[in-house]
Amino acid sequence: MTEWFTETLHPWLAQRLTMDHVLFRTKTEHQDLIIFENSKFGRVLTLDGVVQTTEGDEFVYHEMLTHVPLTAHGSAKRVLVIGGGDGGMAREALKHSGVVRLAMVEIDRSVVDMSREHLPTLSAGAFDDPRFELVIADGARYVAETDDRFDVIIVDSTDPIGPGEVLFTAAFYADCKRCLAEGGILVTQNGVPFLQGGEVANSWHRLRESFTDVWFYVAAVPTYQGGHMAFGWATDDATKRQLDITSIEGRFSPLGIDTRYYTPAVHQAAFALPKFILNLLS
């Protein structure tokens, strides 16, 4: 008999994936973790009843949360990832040859260990890169206390429930601002606006308490149901969001990075928001 995984993120919408083979299932110190195989999406990582990433479509999410800010910055050397325990964000960011240090702060070591064992294609060797540094800690506490400064901060969080809730607060965004070097960029996971409009609206107001240039950009990730997924963008250098296509191509193409979703044209177009998302920013 087929076993199904039913996502429980929304009370009025269910997503079901067949669990063709369960690879790992446990309750960690922080959350319920399941890794299973699905015939369409490959291996799937879920936390607390919500799909976090799949082998089949992870490239959309990871490419857009790394290549957009790193290309826009143009000279990022130090990158901080909050969350990202599956390693996909580190994998893509470390493809930028100018990066000399990437610190990944993950609250749950089990996510890292089980992803390394059961989802090795996501990290693809990033955990063994000499530029990579793993910190097992609360991300909010880390940015509140560290003396380090970063050119790009990527918040690869769960939704604002459970351990991820603190990563959507004004205080957290202010601490991220403190950790950015001059001209630095913060990007965040901000949910699916059609279904989770409050995440975008709240982050819009909270980010603007600390940053002068705040916006969102979008991408379509198949397993994140509801249409566009939104990524928050915050910096004090407005020119980084307004690069023309020639400038984006001039920065990204020489890197020789092979992508499956991101292109310079997609980078530029992603900042053009549908009207219903613009309405959330009023």
| Residues pairing with 81 in the sheet | 104, 154
The model's pLDDT over 235-264, given as tens digits with 9 standing for 90+, comes to 999 999 999 999 999 999 999 999 999 999
CA–CA distance, 83 with 241 (Å, rounded to integer): 24
3-class SS string, 174-223: HHHHHHEEEEEEEEEECCCCCCCHHHHHHHHHHHCCCCCEEEEEEEECCC
Instruction: Identify which of 92, 102, 80, 104 has the alpha carbon closest to the alpha carbon of residue 178.
Output: 80
CA–CA distance, 165 with 21 (Å, rounded to integer): 31
For 249, the token pair is 């191509």
Which one-letter DSSP state was computed for residue 273? -
Amino acid identity, position 11? P
pLDDT at residue 172 is higher than 70: yes
Q: What is the pTM of this model?
A: 0.95
Backbone angles phi, psi at 145, to 5 degrees: -115, -25
Q: Which of helix, strand or coil describes residue 23?
A: strand
The model's pLDDT over 32-56, given as tens digits with 9 standing for 90+, comes to 899 999 999 999 999 899 999 999 9
The model's pLDDT over 54-83, given as tens digits with 9 standing for 90+, comes to 999 999 999 999 999 999 999 999 999 999
Confidence bin at 158 (pLDDT 50/70/90): confident
| Residues pairing with 32 in the sheet | 27
Backbone angles phi, psi at 164, to 5 degrees: -85, -10
Please give the positions annotated as active site.
156
Element (H, E) at 101: strand 101-106
CA–CA distance, 107 with 138 (Å, rounded to integer): 5
- Name all domains of the chain by residue range, CATH numbers in brackets: 4-54 (2.30.140.10), 58-281 (3.40.50.150)
User: What average pLDDT does this structure show over 91-118?
Assistant: 96
Amino acid identity, position 60? V
